[in-house]
Each structure stands twice: as structure tokens, then as C-alpha cells.
Amino acid sequence: MERDKIAIIGGTGDLGFGLALRWAQAGAQVVIGSRDEKKAQDAARRVEDALKAHAPTASAAISVSGLQNPQAAAQASIVVLAVPLAAQADILKSIRDSLQGAILVDTTVPLAAALGGKPTRLLGLWQGSAAAVAREIVPAATPVLSAFHNVSAEALQDLSLTPDCDILVCGDDAAAKQTLFPLVKLIPGLRPIDAGPLEMSRVVESVTALLISVNRRYKVHHCGIRITGLELKS
């Protein structure tokens, strides 16, 4: 396991690919995970191609690879789960033995769209939140944080844009939060906010449905959230 490597499980999807693109651009070591290794490798090549096209002289600093999910998770100290709710439980079960010494960052939102419903509606989960579901599945020794629910995947993928969003981080492990915060700051336009314990994720996850509704109403694609009146040290 490399302390400075980020595994993005579901890095072939919209949010996961956007995060991979931005972190690789910032010089972080990124490994994209997928159930299909070829798809993961293809996504890694797309990241490289996009970054080289955006800044040809920076290509030497790009470090991105693709592996199957368990192998990707085993290589990293930060494992970001960026998959739909319908895939969350099965994928977590497939990688939980690979999470030793790592921090899990869950981005899952229980949108009704996962079961064919409206993306502006939330599913009621017995545990209270998708993050709480993750907490039940992974080993007790693995810190679980929830984050990146409210940032636009489209804005992350468009390197001509600077995302405008606070990243609300929920979790019960203060040290894990302090490990994640500098990685959030690597992406221009993002500011990490400690949103409290993991149980607060049920509130943060619900904001995604609200932002989707606002995007639709105003015919935009990049709505985010900012916490005002809060001065933080850089």
C-alpha cells in the first residue's frame, strides 16, 4: 500500500472519472478500479489523453492506472467509492478484505433513480444513509467518511472550469478527516468542511436531490453548495 495513492472504485463512472481526472492533474497517484479491468485501463488512458491535451508539457507528472476493484483498493491509502446505490453493497463486499490500513470515502447517494424512480427523490434506507450502509459492511477498523455528494461531476470533467463547491465531509474519525482534507484542496474550487459525525451523512446525501431539482429548474448543470459565514485556515 502506498500512502499517497488514491483508489477510485467506480472510476469509470461520471463522478469517479471526474475525481480521477482532477487528482491526476494535481499530481496525485491515482488508480481507477472497475469490476472489468479493461474498462479501468481504458478510463486511465482517457484521463491521460485528456490531461495531455489540456497541458502537453505536464504529461510527465501524470500517474494513473487501472485495475480490478480489489487490486485497486489494496494499493491505496484512500479508497473512494463512486458507484450507484444499486452496486454499493456488492462492491463493498468484494473489496472489504483489501481495505486494511485504508480510509474509505463513500460518495453514494440513495436516489430513487437507482431503482428506476425520479432522481429528485430519495430512497428510505433502514440504516439512515448510504454511508451508514457502508459502515456496516466494511471492517470495523476501516475509517469511513462520506463526501463529494454535492459537487458536479460534469464540472470536474471539464478542465476549462473551476468547480464552485464546498465538500461536506461526515465521519467519526477526526484523523481520517485530516487525511482527506488536503486531497480535497488539491482540486481548485473545492473546500473541505467538517460536517460532523457519519450520521449527518443522511442530511448531506439528501442535498444532492435538491441540487438536481435546482439544476433542472434553472436549466444549468453545475450547481453546488457553499457554507457562508465560515472562515477557515488554508
Cα separation, 35 vs 192, whole angstroms: 30
Cα separation, 147 vs 157, whole angstroms: 18
Q: How confident is the model at residue 233 (pLDDT cuts 50, 70, 90)?
A: confident
Question: Mean per-residue pLDDT for 15-22?
Answer: 97
Burial grade of 146 (CB within 10 A; 0-12, 13-18, 19 or more): buried
Question: Mean per-residue pLDDT for 198-208?
Answer: 93
Q: How confident is the model at residue 234 (pLDDT cuts 50, 70, 90)?
A: low
Question: DSSP readout, 50-79?
Answer: HHHHH-GGGGGG-EEEEEEHHHHHHTEEEE
69: closest CA among 24, 42, 107, 32? Answer: 32
Query: To the nearest 10°, the Cα dihedral for 28, 29, 35, 37?
Result: 130
Cα separation, 227 vs 234, whole angstroms: 15
DSSP-assigned beta bridge partners for residue 63 = 29
Region of poorest pLDDT, from 31-35, 111-115, 137-141, 225-229: 111-115
Share above pLDDT 90 across residues of the chain, in percent, rounded to a whole number: 78
Question: Mean per-residue pLDDT for 84-93?
Answer: 94
Burial grade of 28 (CB within 10 A; 0-12, 13-18, 19 or more): buried
Check: CB of residue 83 under 8 Å from CB of residue 7.
no
186: closest CA among 61, 44, 45, 1? Answer: 61
> Which grid cell is 226?
457553499
Write out the H or E segment, with its range, that includes residue 189: none
Question: Mean per-residue pLDDT for 198-216?
Answer: 92
* 22-35 pLDDT, tens digit each: 999 999 999 999 99
Region of poorest pLDDT, from 12-21, 47-56, 114-123, 201-210: 114-123
More confident residue, 121 or 219: 219
DSSP-assigned beta bridge partners for residue 180 = none
**Residue 2 has what pLDDT?**
46
* 92-133 pLDDT, tens digit each: 999 999 999 999 999 999 876 666 667 767 777 778 889 999
Domains of the chain in start order, with CATH, are: 2-218 (3.40.50.720)
> Which grid cell is 70?
480489489
**Residue 115 has what pLDDT?**
62
DSSP-assigned beta bridge partners for residue 6 = 30, 78
**Residue 112 has what pLDDT?**
67
Residue with C-alpha cell 442535498? 207
Question: Mean per-residue pLDDT for 85-98?
Answer: 95
